[in-house]
């Protein structure tokens, strides 16, 4: 999502637009590596040395409420943040915490059939598979 679009979205929903909030949004929305709060804070604090961790948390919460990101809560490294909102599987390494997205028509069909069976539209969908990634296997 472009910076001007996120700015419009914030204003339309009554949220203040600050340079810090825009920078956090730009960083997370362009990320594909499922960062955690500390990783986001470390990168943003280089640009904004006086930014608080609270500002990062608040901005991520706003982005969640606006449906722009999804929080993956069960990670050893704390919550991770997902920007891929299409139906997919998160493949998580049990050793290093690496999260890879896996998409397939199978997953979309599964979700479609599940909605039919449940007779309602879920508010969210999260499927995780755990493994040891190739890099961690090579280290052992």
Residue 101: CATH number of its domain? 3.30.1490.190
End of a domain among 18, 46, 72?
72
The answer on 99 and 50 residing in a single domain is no
Q: Domain of 103? A: 86-139
Domain total for the chain? 2
Tell me if 92 is assigned to some domain.
yes
The pLDDT tens digits for 111-132 are 999 999 999 988 878 889 999 9
Mean pLDDT of 78-89: 89
Q: Are residues 90 and 67 in the same domain?
A: no
Give the global pTM: 0.84
How big is the CA angle at 88 (ends 134 and 120), to the nearest 5 degrees? 150
Which tops the pLDDT comparison, 2 or 19?
Answer: 19
**97 shares a domain with 64:** no
Whether the pLDDT of residue 41 is over 90: the answer is yes
The tens digit of pLDDT for each residue in 44-53 reads 999 999 999 9
């Amino acid at each position: 999502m472009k910076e001007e679009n996120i700015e419009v979205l914030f204003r339309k929903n009554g949220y203040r637009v600050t340079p810090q909030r825009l920078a956090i949004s730009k960083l997370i929305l362009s990320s594909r590596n499922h960062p955690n709060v500390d990783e986001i804070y470390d990168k943003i604090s280089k640009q904004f040395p006086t930014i608080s961790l609270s500002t990062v948390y608040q901005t991520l919460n706003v982005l969640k409420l606006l449906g722009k990101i999804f929080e993956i809560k069960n990670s050893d490294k704390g919550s991770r943040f997902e920007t891929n909102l299409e139906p997919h599987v998160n493949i998580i390494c049990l050793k290093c915490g690496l999260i890879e997205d896996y998409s397939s028509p199978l997953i979309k069909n599964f979700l479609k059939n599940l909605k039919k069976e449940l007779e309602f539209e879920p508010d969210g969908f999260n499927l995780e598979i755990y493994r040891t990634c190739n890099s961690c296997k090579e280290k052992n």
